[in-house]
Structure 1
Amino acid sequence: MHGLPTATPAEAGLCPERTQGIVQALQRDVDRGRLPGAAVLIARRGRVVLDTAVGRLDPARDVPMGTDAIFRIYSMTKPIVSVAAMMLVEQGRLLLSDPVGQYIPGFMKQQVARSAPEGITLVPARRPSTVQDLLRHTAGLTYEFTGNEHVNQLYSQAGLGDRQQTNAELCERLAALPLAHHPGTTWAYSRATDVLGRVIEVITGQTLGAFLRDHILQPLGMKETSFFVPPEQHLRIAEAFAHDPDGGTQMAMHDPREVPALEMGGGGLMSTLHDYARFLQCLCNGGELEGQRLLSPHTLAYMTADHLGSAIGHTDNPLLPPGHGFGLGFAVRTEAGLAPVPGSLGTYHWSGIGGTHFFVDPAQELFAIFMAQAPNQRVFYRSVMRGLVYGAVLA
């Protein structure tokens, strides 16, 4: 269980019928075979008002989805690792202005790939990437699946997704590859948080998993969040459809039963609806939950402010829609309008490629979590949930 206070929707200013309509809308998609199953939690003013599940845990087994299901949360790992890094900043063990190469020497003298009439050329990076660049995805890195440019192709060929390499080995491979952009010039979703995880290991002398367990997961009571699922919990792992219900190519997902050498800071954790709710409630409380303080309210406000401004460009991307900037680990709403989804100024969010997402609206004292293993439908459910949730908020 989440262990958080509860309230009825009406007590928290939500319409009871519209709140139930969220469940009904998801159930309709289960009934028509578009969604295998989902678990949803909504909290407002510090109290949980909806905590439910629909559909099946695993389409191959006739087992109902439960609120205790375990999901591959992929990039929803990033906010947790970003909080871990900022804890080190608060302790004076890390500066955001530190060059990444201070901790991983290969990143000190990087080169940037540039297209030219005669082909690809490499030019020295104008400056080293910093820890702040890692947190806000301006370090010049990329992902192998975010495009078909030269650096994306090099990433694909480099075996960066090998779960049997260590974080140190991954970062050695990354550092040997050219950058896609000069650091500090462009927001590009990337493996930067994987590198941040290695920085944490170098500073603390612990594996990333051990540091997260000791300083975030155990203090917050997130007992079922880890880089693998132990055997006694295997029956609670949520699975996707074997074939994309919309007819596309179904994304292959990793096996959470395997114990990886790679404790990937950008996307390796498994978690539950209730565990992640405790993390988000800690953020909503200004960095504290039940007497366990991770961050000061000032640090959290700094993390959830826009760190891009007008000087750092970014291409159109559903992860960073119009009216949004990016903070330190979160996308942040900077305009009341422009975005194709509702939300207040200052709302921050992130998601996982496997179909999970969350958003936190400090102005409304509201957060919502959607957990599913529906990778090809992930963008649709991010949008539809915003409309459903804000449609239920009446006071």
Structure 2
Amino acid sequence: MTSLQTLLTTYVDAGTIPGAVALVARGDRVEVATAGFSDTGGTSPMARDSVFRIASITKPITAAAVMMLVDEGRIALDEPVRHRLPELAAPSVVRTPQGPVDDVVPAVRAITVRDLLTFRAGYGFPSDFSLPAVGLLFSELRQGPPQPDPVPAPDEWMAALSRIPLLHQPGDAWLYNTCSDILGVLVARASGRSFPDFLAERLFGPLGMTDTGFAVPAAERHRLAHFYQPTQDGLEPVPAPGGDEWGSLPAFPSGAGGLVSTADDWHAFGRMLLAEGAANGRRLLSPESVRLMTTDHLTPGQRAAGSLFLEGQGWGFGGSVDVTEADPWNVPGRYGWVGGTGTSAHIDPSTGMVAVLLSQVAMTGPAPTPLMRDFWRYAAGA
């Protein structure tokens, strides 16, 4: 079997990515590899503590924050979210997913916290991005790759959301992404703290995740890996040189993809899940909440309809759950997700494994990259 270092170096040498950091841990045995540079100019070598825009591997962290409030009895899984999010008190639903956004019917029931956690609230991305109601998620909510500056503050964002019809009735279909952003607002309103403050005090502090947050302090900016998108001419920096989107807290702290972090920080989060919610002598989540997060909640039909993103996987709370053995890395019970900035993070309760891959080139679509797939094979020992 090739080494983890060789795996990363192969992709760097091929010019696919400027650099990467990878971590595979089983219990106390932790293997870490770094390769390449933080930038295409080769001026800043990648390091174990390099900070990355982790994009959608933010989602499991957001789900954990919600479950902390559930454990405390401050919210309940099956309560209507209108109690905390009155903007969603009376949602409408397009009569057909292909139909115009003004041809709507009332929702047959209230949206619940559980609907948001399982991505079945009726908001989000289906396999067909051309549907009229989906277009509003981009134009009105600025859903898409993490760009903090253009997204309005939570109350304004929720007001815009209230004017967008659901694509499906609550509970009927799995739709990607938007529900995690709604959950971030829910955590803030239910806790009486800003979402960044809640995460910092309740999760990041106790877990020692000192480099995880929605911005990078000025003194640590040199550790932030540059971010690129592929073009016909190579890799183009995002944002353009001189941009400073991550220098201060954004108006809208995105629960779907707004965090920056390191491999060791996400490892600490993953270890807490493997320990059924306990870390450093403290219980952060109940074992039942961890079980709910890491259990598939979808029907076979919902998994099939979400195949553009899920590739046959199920969905727990905030992350996918492997349900088949169709692929060498697809071991039933593996929980985690991928991020559009080139990130991947999973746990495997059956083996006690945490596997984190951080790179800095944007994915070109929902399908995992070849590097991700090779990394998963390595982590699975295949």
Is TM > 0.5 for Structure 1 vs Structure 2? yes
Distance 1:325 1:159, change over 3 A: closer
Q: Which segment is superposed worse, 373-382 or 147-156? A: 373-382
Contact 2:24–2:30 (CA under 8 A) maintained in structure 1 = yes
Name the TM-score, length of structure 1 as normaliser.
Answer: 0.87
Q: Look up the match of 1:286.
A: 276
Which residue, 88, 98, 105 being the options, matches 2:69? Answer: 88
1:389 aligns with 2:371: no
Aligned residue type for 1:157: S
Aligned residue type for 2:250: P
Distance 1:102 1:390, change over 3 A: same
Q: Look up the match of 1:331.
A: 320
Q: Look up the match of 2:206.
A: 219
- Aligned-residue offset at 1:276: 0.9
CA distance in structure 2 between the partners assigned to 1:119 and 1:143 by the alignment: 16
Aligned residue type for 2:29: V
- Aligned-residue offset at 1:307: 1.1
Contact 2:97–2:131 (CA under 8 A) maintained in structure 1 = no
Contact 2:100–2:132 (CA under 8 A) maintained in structure 1 = no
CA distance in structure 1 between the partners assigned to 2:349 and 2:97 by the alignment: 46
Aligned residue type for 1:95: A
Q: Which segment is superposed worse, 381-390 or 27-36? A: 381-390
Q: Which segment is superposed worse, 254-263 or 264-273? A: 254-263
Distance 1:103 1:119, change over 3 A: closer
Q: Look up the match of 2:12.
A: 30
Q: Look up the match of 2:36.
A: 55
1:229 aligns with 2:216: yes
CA distance in structure 1 between the partners assigned to 2:98 and 2:51 by the alignment: 50
Q: Look up the match of 1:123.
A: 105
Q: Which segment is superposed worse, 117-126 or 273-282? A: 117-126
Contact 2:115–2:121 (CA under 8 A) maintained in structure 1 = yes
- Aligned-residue offset at 1:116: 8.8
Distance 1:117 1:152, change over 3 A: closer
Contact 2:98–2:131 (CA under 8 A) maintained in structure 1 = no
Distance 1:105 1:282, change over 3 A: same
Equivalent residues in 2 for 1:107-256, closer than 5 Å: 107-115=88-96, 121-143=103-125, 147-160=129-142, 163=149, 165-241=152-228, 244=230, 252=238, 255-256=245-246
Contact 2:227–2:238 (CA under 8 A) maintained in structure 1 = no
Q: Which segment is superposed worse, 118-127 or 47-56? A: 118-127
What is the DSSP-based 3-state SS (H/G/I as helix, E as strand, rest coil) of the residue aligned with 2:350? helix
Contact 2:206–2:280 (CA under 8 A) maintained in structure 1 = no
Q: Structure 1, residues 89-117: CA drift from partner, whole Å, max 9, x if none? A: 11111101111212111211111123499
Contact 1:101–1:108 (CA under 8 A) maintained in structure 2 = yes
1:303 aligns with 2:293: yes
Contact 2:80–2:112 (CA under 8 A) maintained in structure 1 = yes
Aligned residue type for 2:319: F
CA distance in structure 2 between the partners assigned to 1:221 and 1:26 by the alignment: 27
CA distance in structure 1 between the partners assigned to 2:99 and 2:345 by the alignment: 45
Distance 1:118 1:31, change over 3 A: closer
1:379 aligns with 2:360: no
CA distance in structure 1 between the partners assigned to 2:48 and 2:127 by the alignment: 31
1:319 aligns with 2:301: no
CA distance in structure 2 between the partners assigned to 1:256 and 1:100 by the alignment: 30
What is the DSSP-based 3-state SS (H/G/I as helix, E as strand, rest coil) of the residue aligned with 2:169? coil
Aligned residue type for 2:316: G
- Aligned-residue offset at 1:60: 3.1
Contact 1:160–1:173 (CA under 8 A) maintained in structure 2 = no
Aligned residue type for 1:30: V
- Aligned-residue offset at 1:124: 1.2
Q: Structure 1, residues 223-244: CA drift from partner, whole Å, max 9, x if none? A: 1111100100110111134x62
1:362 aligns with 2:344: no
CA distance in structure 2 between the partners assigned to 1:235 and 1:294 by the alignment: 32
Distance 1:296 1:66, change over 3 A: same
Q: Structure 1, residues 318-353: CA drift from partner, whole Å, max 9, x if none? A: 53112x211111211122x23x45232211121211
CA distance in structure 2 between the partners assigned to 1:208 and 1:184 by the alignment: 26
Aligned residue type for 2:43: D
What is the DSSP-based 3-state SS (H/G/I as helix, E as strand, rest coil) of the residue aligned with 2:33? strand
What is the DSSP-based 3-state SS (H/G/I as helix, E as strand, rest coil) of the residue aligned with 1:263? coil
* Count of residues in Structure 1 that have an aligned counterpart in Structure 2: 369
CA distance in structure 2 between the partners assigned to 1:288 and 1:117 by the alignment: 46
CA distance in structure 1 between the partners assigned to 2:186 and 2:199 by the alignment: 13
Q: Which segment is superposed worse, 300-309 or 78-87? A: 300-309
Q: Which runs of 5+ in 1 are unaligned?
A: 1-17
- Aligned-residue offset at 1:142: 1.1
Q: Look up the match of 2:47.
A: 66
Distance 1:312 1:144, change over 3 A: closer
Q: Look up the match of 1:75.
A: 56
Contact 1:59–1:240 (CA under 8 A) maintained in structure 2 = no
Q: Structure 1, residues 201-221: CA drift from partner, whole Å, max 9, x if none? A: 111110000011110000111
Contact 1:23–1:54 (CA under 8 A) maintained in structure 2 = yes
Q: Look up the match of 1:11.
A: none
| Superposition CA RMSD, Å | 2.4
Q: Which segment is superposed worse, 371-380 or 267-276? A: 371-380
CA distance in structure 2 between the partners assigned to 1:174 and 1:139 by the alignment: 13
What is the DSSP-based 3-state SS (H/G/I as helix, E as strand, rest coil) of the residue aligned with 2:16? coil
CA distance in structure 2 between the partners assigned to 1:233 and 1:316 by the alignment: 38
Name the TM-score, length of structure 2 as normaliser.
Answer: 0.89
Q: Structure 1, residues 110-140: CA drift from partner, whole Å, max 9, x if none? A: 1112349985521111212111111110011
